[in-house]
Amino acid sequence: MQVSSQAPAVPVGGEKPHGGVTAMIIGLFFVWGFCTVLVDSLVPKLKGLFSLTYAEAMLSQFAFFLAYLVISIPAGLLLARIGYLHSIVVGLGVMAAGCLLFTPAASIGLFPLFLLALFVLASGITLLQVAANPLIANLGDPRRSHVRLILAQAFNSLGTTVGPWLGAAFILAGGVELPGDPSALSPEALSALRSEEAGVVMVPFLGIATVLGLLALTFWWLRQQRGMPAVPHQVSGAAVFAPLRHPRLALAALSIFLYVGAEVSIGSVLVNYLMLPGTLGETALRAGQLVSLYWGGAMAGRFVGSLLLRSIGAATLLGLCALGAATLAMVSSLSTGSIAAVAILSIGLFNSVMFPGIFSLGIEKLGDETPQGSALLCLAIVGGAVVPVITGAAADRFGLLSALVVPAICYAGIAVFAFLTRAGILDRAAPWA
């Protein structure tokens, strides 16, 4: 197996990629953000359909983000073999296949089939992330890579802002609980009822599959675009994990693990959290729509963050935002009513610069090992599989409010990484064996 090292931003000959390619790549950030956030609407729906505990419902996020652990390294190897645009085409095709799997899952009404569909969908997103994140960072002046990543992530957040509204309209409009008394039904009748209620999931995912197919055809047409970063030298698969010897990358990977875990945990419990009588007592539809404020804050923060980076270092901004998010999580945990709701929704604003900030700081000085580092950072997104299950178990044991301590601890860990990077301690540290 082989994986590539970093390509130059502009290949020999000096031709620059067409601006339309850059716009299309930024559009991909919107697409996978939109698809990812629909899982937040699925979690409460599946919890009600299959009478799950919070920990069991979080298996939806586990199946989704497990793909980053399983697929990230193979995605890096595929990227080395077929290049950026071909990898994007494959990723879009796999995403479309995952969306199509929701139809048999809903028709049969089996929870494990939903988990399989989520895993396949996320596998395609993983392929896109491994290719698109370093590509957008390399399409231009290296000194502006932080800004380009944050702007691209802003469009990702636009997708996560729009997604909850459509997800609520299609998936949560009928509520999250099965009608009547499910315990009084026969197994056959209960299965039929679940299939009928799960049918609301099919329409949005069939529509998404169509859009993804059209995008795949577009990128296939663009695959010979001149001026794209070329696939450079290749190294043996044994070197995939070699960049982890650098303390900065290793702690960046841990920070990505913590960040995605915290962000996904909060997004997954938001609908149920806002439905609690002690917070807002909203209906499932209204609570699902309010989730847009959480993701909308991340979108606004990324546009603002791209401006702040002109005067504030990336590490400093990351550390301040991580501390802000940890504080808001604790405030929400210890409050009730509108204060608790506003605090937890506001965390999205502080989430805004974390992923692009951690990602760009992690690969900043890797040189030829940048693609391996990118794959490892994408692999660390598996935190979205692990931390939500821990949060769900804490919610089952101690209640939803107390469970917010889990993401608060994650944000505190990210702040440590940021300030160690700002102080230059990680760069001065000797490589780990």
pLDDT of residue 14: 43
Q: Write the CB contacts of 214 (distance below 8 Å, at least 6 apart in sequence).
A: none
- First CA to last CA across the chain, in angstroms? 23
Q: How far, in Å, are 64, 118, 146, 153, 232 from residue 355 at the CA level?
A: 18, 22, 11, 8, 26
Q: How far, in Å, are 17, 131, 371, 429 from residue 14 at the CA level?
A: 10, 22, 22, 37
pLDDT of residue 346: 95
Q: How many CB atoms lie within 10 A of CB 417?
A: 27
pLDDT of residue 141: 65
Q: What is the domain count for the chain? A: 1
Q: Is residue 420 situated within a structural domain?
A: yes
DSSP state of 172: I
Q: Is residue 162 situated within a structural domain?
A: yes
* 127, 87 contact by CB (below 8 A): yes
pLDDT of residue 228: 60
Q: Is residue 433 situated within a structural domain?
A: no
Q: Is residue 345 situated within a structural domain?
A: yes
Q: Contacts for 16-24 with beta carbons within 8 Å, 24 or more apart?
A: 16/227, 17/139, 17/225, 17/226, 17/227, 17/228, 18/225, 18/227, 20/222, 21/139, 21/222, 21/225, 21/228, 22/136, 22/139, 24/218, 24/219, 24/222
Both tokens assigned to 322: 């991580």
CA angle 422, 299, 100 (to 5 degrees): 115
* 326, 412 contact by CB (below 8 A): yes
* 236 φ/ψ angles, rounded to the nearest 5 degrees: -70, 155
- Specify the amino acid at residue 390: I
Q: What CATH number corresponds to the domain at position 52?
A: 1.20.1250.20
Which range marks the domain in which residue 249 is found? 2-229+237-428
* 168, 370 contact by CB (below 8 A): no
pLDDT of residue 360: 82
Q: How far, in Å, are 40, 160, 162, 201, 404 from residue 167 at the CA level?
A: 8, 10, 9, 9, 24
- Specify the amino acid at residue 264: V
| 10-residue averages of pLDDT along the chain (433 residues) | 35 49 84 86 85 89 89 82 87 95 88 94 91 75 66 79 84 74 74 78 89 91 64 56 85 95 92 92 89 85 78 90 97 94 94 87 78 80 92 93 96 96 80 66
Q: How far apart are CA 430 and CA 373, in angstroms?
A: 18
* 239 φ/ψ angles, rounded to the nearest 5 degrees: -90, 5
DSSP state of 97: H
pLDDT of residue 147: 67
Q: Write the CB contacts of 134 (distance below 8 Å, at least 6 apart in sequence).
A: 6, 363, 370, 371, 374
